[in-house]
């Protein structure tokens, strides 16, 4: 919602600036039709946009101005100086209000009526003297009349506020070509830096040069990031408005539709997003209006009442694939054929020889519309032919596939003139290749046996999460020879196509992943159909970007019609599995950035070092009266004081992981790269460009996990009967993990007993020394006669004694 509002403000302000010149020209000649049209469009747009938001005053003002200008356009009224003045006053008021909205302030009440009335006054009485209010003799400046009106309504502060707000957010528009030039300049700079780095390394350590060089590197990285962001926008900004659109449309049409957007993190040119906005909206309207049946019809056909509309975006080199699929009634082949013959697109003879696919794609021909009744929603004379035209204008394409009664899929392909994509670099046959990250579902490293790798004729299959997945060997795809070693571990990259199909690609090694600037390839190379472009690695080495869709198509792994909506029931469970795993990001005690899967994190705890116990190499800590194994402390003893802990649990066992700092919960969208060298690390991944070690929870629990000690098993302690013991000693003992029991309690037999020296002596004399360990306290700091007693305020010694007593009395090994 905030995004929408910011867009509204930016758009309004942009139009205000653009119409500035028009306003001046209009003032000079109020009857100029072209100017009236421009300003009419402005107030009309503002009025329209206001409808989305709750700005009744803005709507009212723009509506009044629009009415007046519409009268002029229709010739019902003459535009004159008075009207110009009144309209300008309204435009200024709109500007002031937009500033106030942006600043989040309340715009002063009142005054609107006077402005609106000024419009009507000028209409009815044409008061010739009104411009006379402007200081006589002066060449009337642009805003003088408007300001006069504003002053009349007691609102002279508005311009000042406007200047203030404008300073807060300033934007300029730049030609994209200029950005391209800057971008390639920065790319060249990065390569020059890398070359320099290489030479510096050869020359050995040179402290005087290394410092500034490091700084240069950091600056370059920043600049590159900034430039990259300049052009790109996540397709999310487009997807964000869709749920609302779908909701409104389905409500209007009496249908129930659930929308599922996937791939919102695909980035593309801002310009391109604008270009596909309308086609996409149109296709969605179409799907809801014509595709998805009313709930009763769906139920009658054994479908779920709620229709599913899925929109998925994938990036592949220089193209973005967007698939819009519904599980509605599908396209009616016969109806399309009849219509096409009726409108003369094809002849009956041609029809007889047409494949279903070809026939369906006739719906994009100009002048084609199958809806019998033109509905309010999708039939506004804008047909699918316009959608196709719009896409083709930017070099894109659209295709439709459909199964009767099961659904329709529209597949859009949109090019990117220049694109930066997140890519994964893999190695096969000693050569590196890049794969667009958006396809990568998962990276798996396992033995062929674990994956049930089987050869079925020429094809290969693996079993992963219970599904048989077709598997391609990249070395074979690229004819790089080298027979795969049957015993060796397989590194699989699971790729999901925009059509929803999943397949695995076997590579030798995973290298890294990062942002890649995709460059086009020469036609002779593109002809192979294997590559989508090339990119330069940081060391300046060119790397080929694989065209995943095309490779899959060459191996018949793409099933046009099999979109995700066709398995709605399986999808529900799959959807949760498909969601990016979430993890808790933290800095461990060694300063390394790590993450642990969020499902494992029970709580974040804070404890004191006093609650720690190191016995037998295993550190334990007491949290809420439960003793749990503590890991992650490292070799360095923790600093005295507070300690942050993550409490991890697998359902049965719990353990604590010491952290220096808890950062945030994040989505692990990056690829997980296995790290076989470190058994406690499941994988390395990237979070916001920084490497993060994902803790291997299985190894952790296998090594350290312990079922939590239930409350009843806590060591017990019997305290002396005194106010001091109850109020001062008891909290300390409890913090050390003990349960306080009364002496008479039968459980007290094994308990640690704390008693004063004197009491102990008395008990000893009477032969009634407690069975369990005893900690003797004395009242004076000085030790007496070498007795084993602790001064009652010697905290450290007391805690140590309690810990020692627990180890001694610990029922566990």
Partner 1 sequence: MSELLVVIQIAGRRCALSAHDVKSVIELGAVTPVPRTPDFIAGIAALRSQTLTVIDCRRALGLPAAEGPTDDRAAVVASGGHAYALMVDAIEDITTAAGEPGQVPGGFGPEWSRIATGMIETMTGPALLIDLAALIAGPDGQRGEIEAAA
Task: Please identify, among the stretches 62-70, 372-380, 522-530, 754-762, the one whose residues bind partner 1 according to the rule CB under 8 A.
Answer: 522-530
Which are the contacts of 472, defined by CB distance < 8 A and separation ≥ 6? 460, 503, 504, 505, 506, 551, 555, 557
Residue 441 beta carbon to partner 1: minimum distance, rounded to whole angstroms: 24
Task: Please identify, among the stretches 20-28, 372-380, 530-538, 725-733, the one whose residues bind partner 1 according to the rule CB under 8 A.
Answer: 530-538
Task: Please identify, among the stretches 29-37, 373-381, 484-492, 536-544, the one whose residues bind partner 1 according to the rule CB under 8 A.
Answer: 536-544
Tokens matching residue 311: 């929109």
| Total residues belonging to the chain | 813
Are the beta carbons of 644 and 662 closer than 8 angstroms? yes
Residue 536 beta carbon to partner 1: minimum distance, rounded to whole angstroms: 5
543 near partner 1, judged by CB under 8 A: yes
Residue 314 beta carbon to partner 1: minimum distance, rounded to whole angstroms: 23
Q: How far apart are CA 40 and CA 203, in angstroms?
A: 68
Residue 654 beta carbon to partner 1: minimum distance, rounded to whole angstroms: 51
Are the beta carbons of 797 and 778 closer than 8 angstroms? no
Task: Please identify, among the stretches 228-236, 515-523, 588-596, 637-645, the one whose residues bind partner 1 according to the rule CB under 8 A.
Answer: 515-523
Residue 460 beta carbon to partner 1: minimum distance, rounded to whole angstroms: 19
Place of tokens 């700005």: 55
* Residue number with CB closer to partner 1 (432 or 657): 432
Task: Compute the chain's Rg from CA coordinates.
Answer: 37
Helix spans in 632-756 (H): 697-704, 723-724, 730-735
Nearest to 503 by CA among 447, 464, 450: 464
Q: How far apart are CA 251 and CA 249, in angstroms?
A: 5
512 near partner 1, judged by CB under 8 A: no
Are the beta carbons of 408 and 323 closer than 8 angstroms? no
Q: Could you say which DSSP state residue 771 is in?
A: S
* Residue number with CB closer to partner 1 (184 or 609): 184
517 near partner 1, judged by CB under 8 A: yes
338: number of CA atoms within 13 Å, CB side? Answer: 8
Q: Which of the residues 666 through 685 are near partner 1 (CB under 8 A)?
A: none
Task: Please identify, among the stretches 221-229, 282-290, 519-527, 721-729, the one whose residues bind partner 1 according to the rule CB under 8 A.
Answer: 519-527
Residue 233 beta carbon to partner 1: minimum distance, rounded to whole angstroms: 23
Residue from 431, 463, 608, 759 touching partner 1 (CB under 8 A): that is 431
Are the beta carbons of 115 and 86 closer than 8 angstroms? yes
122 near partner 1, judged by CB under 8 A: no
Residue from 187, 228, 413, 463 touching partner 1 (CB under 8 A): that is 187
* Residue 608: exposure state from Cβ atoms within 10 A (0-12, 13-18, ≥19): middle
Task: Please identify, among the stretches 12-20, 57-65, 147-155, 183-191, the one whose residues bind partner 1 according to the rule CB under 8 A.
Answer: 183-191
Angle at 92 between CA 89 and CA 98, to 5 degrees: 140
3-state secondary structure 239-268: HCCHHHHHHHHHHHHCCCEEEEEECCCCEE
Residue 541 beta carbon to partner 1: minimum distance, rounded to whole angstroms: 6
Task: Please identify, among the stretches 289-297, 540-548, 583-591, 613-621, the one whose residues bind partner 1 according to the rule CB under 8 A.
Answer: 540-548
Task: Please identify, among the stretches 184-192, 402-410, 437-445, 751-759, the one whose residues bind partner 1 according to the rule CB under 8 A.
Answer: 184-192
Residue 199 beta carbon to partner 1: minimum distance, rounded to whole angstroms: 14
Q: How far apart are CA 689 and CA 279, in angstroms?
A: 34
Question: Is residue 213 classed as helix, strand or coil in its secondary structure?
Answer: helix
178 near partner 1, judged by CB under 8 A: no
Q: How far apart are CA 447 and CA 727, in angstroms?
A: 61
Residue 294 beta carbon to partner 1: minimum distance, rounded to whole angstroms: 49
519 near partner 1, judged by CB under 8 A: yes
Alpha carbon 651 to chain centroid, angstroms:
29
* Residue number with CB closer to partner 1 (191 or 735): 191
Task: Please identify, among the stretches 55-63, 405-413, 526-534, 728-736, the one whose residues bind partner 1 according to the rule CB under 8 A.
Answer: 526-534
Residue 470 beta carbon to partner 1: minimum distance, rounded to whole angstroms: 20
Task: Please identify, among the stretches 72-80, 99-107, 161-169, 187-195, the one whose residues bind partner 1 according to the rule CB under 8 A.
Answer: 187-195
* Residue number with CB closer to partner 1 (515 or 650): 515
* Residue number with CB closer to partner 1 (528 or 615): 528
540 near partner 1, judged by CB under 8 A: yes
According to DSSP, the residues that pair with 424 across neighbouring strands are 435, 513
* Residue number with CB closer to partner 1 (4 or 418): 418
Sign of CA dihedral 766, 770, 775, 777: negative
Residue from 45, 133, 148, 184 touching partner 1 (CB under 8 A): that is 184
Residue from 34, 374, 525, 575 touching partner 1 (CB under 8 A): that is 525
* Residue number with CB closer to partner 1 (258 or 480): 480
Burial 7-31 (b: 16+ CB within 10 A, else e): ebbeebbebbeebeebbeebbeebe
The pairing of strands 593-597 and 407-415 is unpaired
Q: x-or-dash pattern for partner 1, window 464-483, by CB under 8 A?
A: --------------xxx---
Tokens matching residue 358: 């070809």
Task: Please identify, among the stretches 365-373, 532-540, 731-739, 794-802, the one whose residues bind partner 1 according to the rule CB under 8 A.
Answer: 532-540
Nearest to 428 by CA among 487, 516, 493, 523: 493
544 near partner 1, judged by CB under 8 A: yes
Residue 214 beta carbon to partner 1: minimum distance, rounded to whole angstroms: 22
* Residue number with CB closer to partner 1 (492 or 543): 543
Residue from 531, 701, 738, 760 touching partner 1 (CB under 8 A): that is 531
Tokens matching residue 332: 């009616």
The pairing of strands 739-741 and 716-718 is parallel
Residue 473 beta carbon to partner 1: minimum distance, rounded to whole angstroms: 13
Task: Please identify, among the stretches 245-253, 521-529, 565-573, 602-610, the one whose residues bind partner 1 according to the rule CB under 8 A.
Answer: 521-529
Nearest to 228 by CA among 182, 193, 190: 182
Q: How far apart are CA 653 and CA 664, in angstroms?
A: 24
395 near partner 1, judged by CB under 8 A: no
Question: Is residue 274 classed as helix, strand or coil in its secondary structure?
Answer: helix
536 near partner 1, judged by CB under 8 A: yes
Task: Please identify, among the stretches 182-190, 251-259, 333-341, 588-596, the one whose residues bind partner 1 according to the rule CB under 8 A.
Answer: 182-190
- Total residues binding partner 1 (CB under 8 A): 30
Residue from 301, 447, 467, 541 touching partner 1 (CB under 8 A): that is 541
Residue from 36, 115, 146, 521 touching partner 1 (CB under 8 A): that is 521
Residue from 141, 405, 542, 691 touching partner 1 (CB under 8 A): that is 542
Tokens matching residue 60: 């009212």
Tokens matching residue 390: 């719009």
* Residue number with CB closer to partner 1 (96 or 434): 434
182 near partner 1, judged by CB under 8 A: no
Q: How far apart are CA 251 and CA 298, in angstroms?
A: 16
Can you spell out the DSSP letters for 64-82? Answer: HHHHHHHHHHTTSS---HH
Q: How far apart are CA 536 and CA 531, in angstroms?
A: 14
Sign of CA dihedral 216, 217, 219, 225: positive
Residue from 207, 367, 523, 617 touching partner 1 (CB under 8 A): that is 523
Q: How far apart are CA 610 and CA 643, in angstroms?
A: 10
Enumerate binding residues for partner 1 (CB under 8 A): 184, 187-188, 190-191, 429, 431, 478-480, 517, 519-525, 527-528, 530-531, 534-536, 540-544
């Amino acid at each position: 919602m905030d995004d929408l509002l910011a867009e509204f403000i930016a758009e309004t302000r942009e139009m205000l600036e653009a119409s500035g010149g028009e306003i001046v020209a209009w003032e000079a000649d109020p009857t100029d039709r072209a100017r009236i049209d421009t300003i009419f469009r402005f107030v009309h747009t503002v009025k329209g946009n206001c409808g989305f938001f709750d700005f009744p005053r803005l709507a009212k003002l723009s509506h009044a101005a629009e009415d007046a200008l519409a009268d002029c356009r229709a010739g019902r009224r003459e535009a004159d100086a008075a009207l110009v003045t009144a309209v300008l006053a309204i435009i200024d008021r709109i500007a002031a209000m937009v500033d106030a909205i942006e600043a989040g302030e309340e715009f002063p009440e009142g005054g609107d009526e006077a402005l609106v009335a000024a419009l009507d006054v000028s209409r009815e009485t044409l008061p010739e003297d009104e411009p006379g209010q402007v200081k006589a003799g002066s060449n009337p400046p642009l805003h003088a009349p408007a300001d006069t009106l504003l002053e009349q309504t007691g609102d002279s502060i508005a311009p000042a506020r406007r200047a203030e707000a404008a300073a807060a957010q300033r934007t300029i528009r730049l030609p994209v070509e200029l950005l391209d030039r800057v971008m390639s300049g920065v790319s060249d700079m990065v390569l020059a830096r890398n070359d320099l780095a290489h030479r510096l390394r050869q020359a050995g350590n040179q402290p005087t040069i290394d410092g500034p060089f490091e700084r240069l590197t950091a600056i370059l990285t920043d600049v590159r990031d900034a430039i990259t962001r300049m052009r790109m926008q996540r397709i999310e900004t487009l997807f964000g408005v869709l749920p609302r659109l779908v909701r409104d449309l389905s409500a209007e049409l009496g249908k129930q539709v659930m929308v599922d957007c996937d791939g919102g993190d695909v980035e593309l040119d801002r310009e391109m997003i604008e270009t596909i906005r309308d086609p996409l909206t149109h296709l969605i309207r179409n799907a809801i209006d014509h595709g998805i049946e009313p709930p009763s019809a769906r139920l009658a056909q054994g479908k779920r009442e709620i229709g599913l509309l899925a929109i998925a975006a994938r990036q592949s080199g220089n193209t973005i694939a967007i698939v819009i699929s519904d599980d509605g009634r599908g396209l009616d082949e016969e109806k399309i054929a009849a219509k096409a013959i009726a409108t003369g697109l094809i002849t009956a003879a041609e029809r007889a020889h047409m494949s279903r696919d070809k026939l369906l794609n006739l719906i994009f021909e100009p002048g084609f519309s199958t809806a019998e009744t033109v509905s309010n929603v999708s039939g506004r004379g804008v047909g699918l032919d316009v959608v196709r035209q719009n896409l083709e204008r930017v070099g894109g394409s659209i295709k439709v596939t459909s199964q009767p009664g099961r659904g329709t899929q529209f597949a859009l392909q949109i090019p990117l003139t220049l694109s930066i994509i997140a890519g994964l670099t893999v190695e096969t046959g000693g050569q590196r290749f890049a794969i667009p990250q958006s396809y990568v579902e998962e990276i798996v490293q396992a033995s062929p046996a674990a994956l049930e790798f089987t050869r079925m004729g020429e094809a290969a299959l693996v079993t992963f999460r219970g599904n048989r997945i077709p598997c391609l060997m990249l070395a074979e795809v690229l004819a790089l020879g080298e027979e795969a070693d049957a015993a060796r571990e397989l590194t699989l990259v699971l790729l999901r196509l925009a059509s929803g199909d999943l397949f695995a690609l076997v590579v030798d090694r995973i290298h890294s992943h990062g942002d890649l600037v995709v460059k086009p390839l020469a036609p002779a190379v593109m002809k192979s159909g294997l590559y989508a472009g090339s990119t330069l690695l940081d060391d300046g080495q060119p790397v080929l970007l694989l065209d995943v869709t095309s490779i899959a198509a060459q191996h018949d792994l793409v099933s046009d019609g099999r979109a995700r909506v066709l398995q709605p029931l399986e999808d529900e469970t799959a959807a949760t599995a498909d969601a990016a795993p979430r993890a808790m990001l933290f800095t461990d005690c060694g300063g390394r950035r790590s993450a642990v899967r969020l499902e494992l994190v029970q709580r974040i705890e804070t404890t004191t070092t006093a609650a720690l116990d190191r016995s037998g190499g295993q550190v334990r800590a007491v949290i809420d009266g439960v003793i749990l194994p503590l890991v992650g402390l490292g070799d360095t003893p923790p600093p005295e004081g507070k300690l942050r802990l993550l409490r991890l649990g697998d359902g049965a066992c719990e353990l604590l992981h010491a952290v220096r700092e808890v950062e945030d919960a994040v989505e692990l969208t990056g690829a997980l790269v296995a790290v076989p060298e470190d058994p406690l690390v499941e994988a390395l991944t990237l979070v916001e460009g920084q490497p993060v070690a994902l803790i291997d929870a299985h190894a952790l629990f296998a090594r350290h996990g312990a079922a939590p000690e239930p409350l009843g098993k806590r060591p017990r302690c019997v305290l002396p009967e005194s106010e001091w013991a109850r109020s001062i000693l008891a909290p300390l003992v409890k913090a050390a993990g003990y349960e306080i029991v009364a002496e008479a309690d039968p459980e007290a037999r094994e308990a640690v007993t704390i008693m004063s020296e004197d009491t102990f002596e008395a008990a000893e004399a009477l032969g009634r020394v407690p069975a369990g360990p005893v900690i003797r306290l004395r009242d004076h700091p000085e030790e007496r006669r070498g007795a084993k007693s602790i001064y009652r305020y010697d905290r450290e010694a007391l805690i140590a004694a309690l810990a020692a007593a627990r180890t001694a009395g610990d029922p566990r090994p």
